[in-house]
Amino acid sequence: MWELTKSFRFEAAHALPGTTLGEASEEIHGHSFRAEVSIRGMPDPATGMVLDLGLLERSMTDVRKMLDHKLLNKVDALGPPTLENLSRFIWEKVQHAGHVTRVSVHRDSCNESCTYFGPQS
């Protein structure tokens, strides 16, 4: 079994009212984010690849366009713009590309990340 991980970066702004993070989080502010999408499977005997990376790249480009240089509070279907909701949102947008096992979103400047492993049955 192999796990293949591909990442992308995006810049976005958000506001998180009603938290204990203080006034600064309630105002619109921006972050640099890094998202990682992991696919698990066995390499195809003909291609030697777990997944054609072009398929994953297309899905990741589409979701990046939805998030990059946006005010995350206004992104439809995201909900409150937390790391938790970002990782779930990205999962939902790329899951058709292959057997997605996890999506992680990192805010390196804050030393924070969150990983979503998909819906639990």
Q: Which residues are annotated as a binding site for Zn(2+)?
A: 14, 29, 31
Cα dihedral: 37, 38, 44, 45 (round 10):
130
Residue list, annotated binding site = 14, 29, 31
CA 71-119-29 angle, 5° bins = 15
